[in-house]
Amino acid sequence: MKISARNAMKGVVKSVVPGMVTTEVVIEVAPGLEVASVITKSSAESLALKVGDEAYAVVKASDVMVALD
Amino acid sequence: MKISARNAMKGVVKSVVPGMVTTEVVIEVAPGLEVASVITKSSAESLALKVGDEAYAVVKASDVMVALD
Amino acid sequence: MKISARNAMKGVVKSVVPGMVTTEVVIEVAPGLEVASVITKSSAESLALKVGDEAYAVVKASDVMVALD
Amino acid sequence: MKISARNAMKGVVKSVVPGMVTTEVVIEVAPGLEVASVITKSSAESLALKVGDEAYAVVKASDVMVALD
Amino acid sequence: MKISARNAMKGVVKSVVPGMVTTEVVIEVAPGLEVASVITKSSAESLALKVGDEAYAVVKASDVMVALD
Amino acid sequence: MKISARNAMKGVVKSVVPGMVTTEVVIEVAPGLEVASVITKSSAESLALKVGDEAYAVVKASDVMVALD
C-alpha cells in the first residue's frame, strides 16, 4: 500500500508497552532519535510488533507542528 | 514552554512554501531524513520561519502510526 | 506497507481539488457513502490521484469520534 | 449541533471495549465496512454507547489519508 | 447531534479567512481567549459561517497537548 | 520553546487520571470552561502534572472543528 502520509521514517522498534485499549510503541528512526507512537492494542497485535523489528513511524504532515528554541 | 508532545525532533528548515491559509515546512531532522509539516500561514509568519533556521518538528504520540514493509 | 491505522476503506476517487498547499480528495467507499480527505498537494501529485482511481481512505482510530442523533 | 467535520458515517455500534482512560468503539457504517474509534472512557459513558445503537463515526477531513494498492 | 468530542467551547466567530481548499476560522470562546481552526472551505460554506455568529470550537481530547511554562 | 500550534490556553489543572498507557488531564482555561486532554502517561509523569498547577492546553488549528447549534 502506498500512502499519502508524507512522513514515513524507517527504524527499529525499541519498546512495545501494551495497555488495555492502546499500546505505546517507540521506534528509533536515526541514531539517538526515537519516535513514540500510541496505537490501538489490536493494531499492535495485528502487526505482531516486537522489539528489534524494522518498522516505520508514519505521520501525516498536518499533524506535525514546528517549534523554535 | 515545556510541552507534553513526546516527539520533538531538532533539525534545519529546508523549505517553506506558503499557500493562502496554510504553509508547508520541511525540516531535516537527521542526515537524509526530512519531516514535512503543514501549519497555518499565520503561525509560519509568526515564527518567521526561513530556510536554514534551526527548528523542531513536534508530533503528538497519538498522531504517529506504525507500519511494516 | 502494512499500517497500524485501523481504518482503510476501499473505494473510488470521485473528485480531486488542488489548492496551493493542500488538495481535497473525495472517495466513495460504499454506495452513496463518500469520505472527504485533505492531504498535501505534493502527496496527491506523488500518488497521481485522479477521478475513477481505486483508492483507500485511511483513518487512525484515535481520529474517529462517535456521535448520536 | 451541526459540525464542520466533513465525514459523518451513520451505522450501528458493533462493540464497545472500555479501558482505564479510553474506550474502543466499532461502528459498522455499511454492510461489511467497520470503522474503529478510540474515544475517552468518559465520553463513551456520557453517550451511554452500547452494541446495537445507531451512531455516527465522525472524522475531520484533515485526518483522512489516501492510499493506493 | 451529540458528539463524543470532549471539548465544545461556545463563542463568537471573530474572523473567517477562506483559502482555495481550507478556511481559517477564529472563535472567541471567553473574553480575550480566541481559538483558531482550519476546516475545509466547503465545510465553512456549508455552515455559512460569518463574523458575529455564535459557534462552537470542538476538539477531541486526544488532540489536546499540555504544556508548562 | 515557541511552537506553531495556534492555540495555547493558559489555565489550572483540575484533574489528572492515569491509565496504563494514557493519562487524562483536565485544565480550566477560563471560569467554568474546562478542556480535557489525553496524553501519554509518560508525558504526564515527565511534566509531573498535578491538580492546581498552572498549565496550557495546546491545540493545533487543524484539529479544531467548528459547530453550530
Specify the pTM.
0.96
All residues of chain D having their beta carbon less than 8 Å from the beta carbon of residue A42 are 24, 36
Q: CA E50 to CA F47: how far, in whole Å?
A: 39
pLDDT tens, residue by residue, B12-60:
999 999 999 999 999 999 999 999 999 999 999 999 999 999 999 999 9
Domain that holds residue E49: 7-59
Number of structural domains (chain A) is: 1
Which residue's C-alpha cell is 520553546?
F1
All residues of chain D having their beta carbon less than 8 Å from the beta carbon of residue E41 are none
Torsion of CA D63, D66, E1, E5, to 10 degrees: -20
User: Do the Cβ atoms of E53 and E43 come closer than 8 Å?
Assistant: no
Q: What is the CATH number for E50?
A: 2.40.50.100
Among B59, B62, B68, beta carbon nearest to A64 = B59
Torsion of CA B43, C38, E12, F10, to 10 degrees: -50
Q: CA D47 to CA D54: how far, in whole Å?
A: 12
**Is residue D17 in a domain?**
yes
Confidence of residue A1 (pLDDT cuts 50, 70, 90): confident
How many helices (H) and strands (E) chain E has is answered by 1, 6
All residues of chain E having their beta carbon less than 8 Å from the beta carbon of residue F19 are none
Is the pLDDT at A50 greater than 90? The verdict is: yes
User: Do the Cβ atoms of A13 and A25 come closer than 8 Å?
Assistant: yes
**Is residue E68 in a domain?**
no
D42 with F20: Cβ contact below 8 A: no
Q: Enumerate the H helices of A1-69 as residue ranges.
A: 41-47
**Residue A48 has what pLDDT?**
96
Q: Give chains near E: 3+ CB pairs under 8 A.
A: B, C, D, F
All residues of chain A having their beta carbon less than 8 Å from the beta carbon of residue C47 are 2, 4
Is the pLDDT at C1 greater than 90? The verdict is: no
Instruction: Tell me the residue type at B51.
Output: V
Percentage of chain E lying above the pLDDT 70 cut = 100
Instruction: Tell me the residue type at C47.
Output: L
Grid coordinates standing for A19? 495497555
Taking CA C28 as the corner, what is the angle to CA C25 and CA C33, rounded to the nearest 5 degrees?
A: 120
For the segment E28-51, the average pLDDT, to the nearest whole number, is 97
A56 with C1: Cβ contact below 8 A: yes
Confidence of residue C11 (pLDDT cuts 50, 70, 90): very high
Is the pLDDT at A19 greater than 90? The verdict is: yes
Residue D45, judged by CB atoms within 10 A of its CB (0-12, 13-18, 19+), counts as: exposed
User: Is beta strand A65-68 parallel, antiparallel or unpaired with respect to B54-59?
Assistant: antiparallel
Confidence of residue F1 (pLDDT cuts 50, 70, 90): confident
For residue E61, the distance in angstroms to the closest alpha carbon of chain B comes to 11
All residues of chain B having their beta carbon less than 8 Å from the beta carbon of residue E17 are 21
Confidence of residue C62 (pLDDT cuts 50, 70, 90): very high
Helix (H, G, I), strand (E, B) or coil at D20: coil
User: Do the Cβ atoms of F23 and F40 come closer than 8 Å?
Assistant: yes
For residue E60, the distance in angstroms to the closest alpha carbon of chain C comes to 8
**Is residue C51 in a domain?**
yes
**Is residue D4 in a domain?**
yes
Is the pLDDT at B1 greater than 90? The verdict is: no
**Is residue D14 in a domain?**
yes
CA distances from F67 to A20, B26, E5, E39 (A): 32, 32, 11, 11
F33 with E9: Cβ contact below 8 A: yes
Q: C67: nearest CA in chain E?
A: E3
Is the pLDDT at C33 greater than 90? The verdict is: yes
All residues of chain A having their beta carbon less than 8 Å from the beta carbon of residue F1 are 67-69
> Over chain A, what is the mean pLDDT?
96
**Is residue B64 in a domain?**
no
**Is residue E35 in a domain?**
yes
Distance of CA A1 to the CA centre of its chain: 17
pLDDT tens, residue by residue, E12-31:
999 999 999 999 999 999 99
ipTM: 0.96
Is the pLDDT at C30 greater than 90? The verdict is: yes
Is the pLDDT at F33 greater than 90? The verdict is: yes
* φ, ψ dihedrals at C25, nearest 5°: -125, 130
Confidence of residue E1 (pLDDT cuts 50, 70, 90): confident
Grid coordinates standing for D32? 461489511
For the segment A33-50, the average pLDDT, to the nearest whole number, is 97
Q: Which H or E run includes A19? A: none
Residues with pLDDT less than 50, chain D? none
Q: CA A43 to CA F7: how far, in whole Å?
A: 31
User: Do the Cβ atoms of B23 and F62 come closer than 8 Å?
Assistant: no
Among E2, E21, E62, beta carbon nearest to C23 = E21
**Other Cβ atoms closer than 10 A to E46:** 13
**Residue A9 has what pLDDT?**
97
Please indicate whether residue B24 or residue F5 has the higher confidence score (pLDDT). Answer: B24
Q: A66: nearest CA in chain F?
A: F4
Taking CA B57 as the corner, what is the angle to CA A7 and CA C2, rounded to the nearest 5 degrees?
A: 25
Among C1, C21, C56, the strongest candidate for a mutation testing the B interface, having the largest count of B CBs within 10 A, is C21
- Chain D interface, Cβ < 8 Å to E: 1-6, 8, 37-40, 42-44, 46-47, 56, 58, 60-62
